[in-house]
Chain A
Amino acid sequence: MTATLEKPAAAVETRRKRIVASPGAWLVWGAVAFFFVNLAGVIGSVVVNSFGERWFDTWLPSGWTTQWYASAWNEFGLFPILVVTLEVALLVVAISVLVGVPASYVLARRSFPGRRLVYLLFLLPILMPPITYGIPLATVLYKYGLAGHLAGVVLANLVPSIPFVILTMTPFIEQIDPAVERAARMCGARTWQVFLRILSPLLVPGILAASILVLVRTVGMFELTFLTAGPDSQTLVVALYYSMSAAGIRAQQSVDAMAVMYTASMLVLLVVALRFVNPTQLVARVKEDPD
């Protein structure tokens, strides 16, 4: 019914657009194209440089090589860094899902005194710049001897990740009809059976989406990891930052090779993520307050 109604309307829309609004449309598409050209330039120049032999004051490098990748791999000890990155990301995902999903169930299903306050408390870590709480957090973690290791990095990354899981899962759980759970109880299911047989299968898509988003954010999270990581617990972004700010010591091309590898791994994650998530969802980190 709606589908048949919408089609002609959309057709009318496009026709009108073509006739009336061409200067505006040109401007808009021009702006978008300009943005994309520059974006391609930014990414492309990194990629080209990482494969170039020597590149001074010309459009393209004088020759092509893959040696920078080998040197990046060897010089920076990329393999342990990748392992650390993966460890941190997976631990953060696992813990924040385990901790966050039960909390979002309560927030989605129950009303209780102080609910808004609790919600605000979960909203704050996402609304604050990571540096503002990262510095005191790192100070505290150093005080207890937790920073400088993997544990500190994971703990610091949990701060935005747990609220993030809660904020993405709460609306997801809200859209599951609570009568389904009651129906299961009326069929004789105990609480754990309701959770295992009815809720878990229904929550899997949401948990998957939240996990991938947390994974992407943790791999890309610079500030918190930067503040809490020791020499053995750097993730890829932080290692990249250090090699960039220590410019001159290492060849620019090999830094770029590392950056390309970082980009490639992020893109793989992204492609996986987009199979499960709508791009707008990837961005909308904070859903509107439900009240």
Chain B
Amino acid sequence: MTTFSELRLDGVRRRFGGKDALAGLSLTIRRGEFIALLGPSGCGKSTALNCLAGLLPLTEGSIWQDGDRLDTLPPERRGFGMVFQSYALFPHLSVRKNISFGLQMRRLPRDEVRRRTDEAIKLVRLEEHARKLPGQLSGGQQQRVAIARAVVLEPSLVLMDEPLSNLDAKLRLEMRTEIRRLHQSLGLTTVYVTHDQEEALSLADRLVVLRDGRVEQIGTPEELHNRPANRHVADFMGYRNLVPMRVKAVHGDTVALDGSGLTLEGTPVGPVAAGDEVVAGIRPEDLRAGPHGVPVTVEVVEYQGRELAVEARTEEGVALFLRAAERPAPGDRITVTAAPSRVLVFGAGTR
């Protein structure tokens, strides 16, 4: 059907009752891309998706599909497909009728409707359940119907609103692979909303991190994972230790830090100078118990399969999360250390 080479959001803004739910989102989506909108609840990611779908009118800004302006069109004329968090299957229609609904709305010939519906049912492996009502299906099956219903129209863009959040952990992993497989095999362009950073990192080509309606960072999974632009993105990307410290000295690419009962070396994100109050971000897996380093007291030890997750406290009472290979006992004093390249230092501009 319709396709495009790029879809451009230009300063898209949406206010609710005088408050910005989304403050100026600008983003260009290329054909075939998988974009994840990531952020905590209330960050504006669902607002962005609904604006894109046409279910919410924009307060300001515009949406362009190549040269055509889209934001003035009602949702049914944009030609997008959408998968809802609650699935939103039509409860009174069978699986087959749910999937063929959109094709019928487009008044396609009966043969084509049947053929494409059959294909879609086969694609999501629901042949045996085609006659059932949605209420008779399991959560995972309902999810597959919702996906089939959205992709059967061969939409130029598929929007997914936290589609996996109602599934249990095992099924979520399976469906994640399934969604990526469909995206690749059908050559879809997908915008995917989630609050789960792991899901976003594993699925998306590019991530958009939102907070309080504003874009915090746009980048590939690797960029976000290794180089979060500020401490909020870092917090979201699994930098569980965010310790307030002070810059002692700057040596080229690394800086020496102390404070909160720790002395460390780290890599600055953005400019810092000696004497600055900063936040040091370290992932638990990068902070290791070893023979050298800063002394801390072990408080809680959790078994996590190959490793042990340890919560410890520095001499100044700041909590730290780290990994250990051997099991320390609560109350033990151990020493911890981290490689300077794995300690990110967020200065005044990036705190």
Tell whether, in the assembled complex, residue B90 and residue A198 are in contact, meaning their CB atoms are under 8 Å apart.
Answer: yes
Tell whether, in the assembled complex, residue A183 and residue B153 are in contact, meaning their CB atoms are under 8 Å apart.
Answer: no
Residues of A within 8 Å of B89, CB to CB, are 180, 183
Tell whether, in the assembled complex, residue A182 and residue B88 are in contact, meaning their CB atoms are under 8 Å apart.
Answer: yes
Task: Decide if B19 is an interface residue (CB 8 Å cutoff).
Answer: no
Tell whether, in the assembled complex, residue A179 and residue B153 are in contact, meaning their CB atoms are under 8 Å apart.
Answer: no
Given contacts A187-B153, A188-B105, contact A182 B84 (CB under 8 A): yes
* Number of residues of chain A lying within 8 A (CB) of chain B: 17
Given contacts A189-B105, A193-B105, contact A184 B90 (CB under 8 A): yes
Distance A187 CA – B106 CA, assembled complex (angstroms):
9
Residues of A within 8 Å of B81, CB to CB, are 186-187
Tell whether, in the assembled complex, residue B106 and residue A186 are in contact, meaning their CB atoms are under 8 Å apart.
Answer: no
Task: Decide if B86 is an interface residue (CB 8 Å cutoff).
Answer: yes
Distance A187 CA – B150 CA, assembled complex (angstroms):
7
Residues of B within 8 Å of A188, CB to CB, are 76-77, 79, 102, 105-106, 153
Given contacts A180-B91, A198-B90, A202-B92, contact A186 B101 (CB under 8 A): no
Residues of B within 8 Å of A202, CB to CB, are 91-92
A182 to chain B, nearest CB (A): 5
Tell whether, in the assembled complex, residue A186 and residue B90 are in contact, meaning their CB atoms are under 8 Å apart.
Answer: no
Task: Decide if A287 is an interface residue (CB 8 Å cutoff).
Answer: no
Task: Decide if A250 is an interface residue (CB 8 Å cutoff).
Answer: no
Q: How large is the interface on B (under 10, 10 to 19, 20 to 34, 35 or more residues)?
A: 20 to 34
Given contacts A185-B76, A188-B102, A189-B105, contact A180 B90 (CB under 8 A): yes
CB contact between A185 and one of B55, B91, B106, B150 (< 8 Å): that residue? B55
Residues of A within 8 Å of B149, CB to CB, are 183, 187
Residues of B within 8 Å of A179, CB to CB, are 84-88
Q: Nearest CB to that of B54 among chain A residues?
A: A185
B247 to chain A, nearest CB (A): 50
Residues of B within 8 Å of A198, CB to CB, are 90
Task: Decide if B74 is an interface residue (CB 8 Å cutoff).
Answer: yes
Residues of A within 8 Å of B54, CB to CB, are 185
Residues of A within 8 Å of B75, CB to CB, are 182, 185-186
Distance A186 CA – B151 CA, assembled complex (angstroms):
11
Task: Decide if A190 is an interface residue (CB 8 Å cutoff).
Answer: yes
Distance A180 CA – B90 CA, assembled complex (angstroms):
6
Distance A193 CA – B74 CA, assembled complex (angstroms):
14
A179 to chain B, nearest CB (A): 4
A159-200: which residues lie under 8 A (CB-CB) from chain B? 177, 179-180, 182-190, 193, 197-198
Tell whether, in the assembled complex, residue B80 and residue A186 are in contact, meaning their CB atoms are under 8 Å apart.
Answer: yes
Given contacts A185-B74, A185-B76, contact A180 B88 (CB under 8 A): yes
Q: Nearest CB to that of A185 among chain B residues?
A: B75
Task: Decide if B193 is an interface residue (CB 8 Å cutoff).
Answer: no
Task: Decide if B53 is an interface residue (CB 8 Å cutoff).
Answer: yes
Task: Decide if A201 is an interface residue (CB 8 Å cutoff).
Answer: yes
Distance A230 CA – B54 CA, assembled complex (angstroms):
55
Distance A164 CA – B53 CA, assembled complex (angstroms):
37
B254 to chain A, nearest CB (A): 51
CB contact between A187 and one of B55, B87, B102 (< 8 Å): that residue? B102
Task: Decide if B82 is an interface residue (CB 8 Å cutoff).
Answer: yes
Distance A202 CA – B89 CA, assembled complex (angstroms):
12
CB contact between A182 and one of B82, B91, B153 (< 8 Å): that residue? B82
Tell whether, in the assembled complex, residue A182 and residue B102 are in contact, meaning their CB atoms are under 8 Å apart.
Answer: no
Distance A190 CA – B104 CA, assembled complex (angstroms):
12
Q: Which of A184, A186, A198 counts the most B-chain CB atoms under 10 A from its CB?
A: A186
Q: Nearest CB to that of A188 among chain B residues?
A: B105
The 5 closest A-B pairs by CB, nearest first: A187-B102, A179-B88, A183-B88, A188-B105, A186-B82
B binding-site residues for A, Cβ under 8 Å: 53-55, 74-77, 79-82, 84-92, 101-102, 105-106, 146, 149-150, 153, 159
Ordered by A's residue number, 18 sampled pairs between the chains whose C-beta atoms are within 8 Å are A177-B86, A179-B84, A179-B86, A179-B88, A182-B75, A183-B88, A183-B146, A184-B101, A185-B55, A185-B74, A186-B75, A186-B81, A187-B101, A187-B105, A188-B153, A189-B101, A190-B76, A201-B92
List 13 additional A-B contacts (Cβ < 8 Å) besides A182-B84, A183-B84.
A180-B90, A182-B75, A182-B88, A183-B88, A183-B149, A186-B53, A186-B75, A186-B159, A187-B76, A187-B81, A188-B106, A189-B101, A202-B91
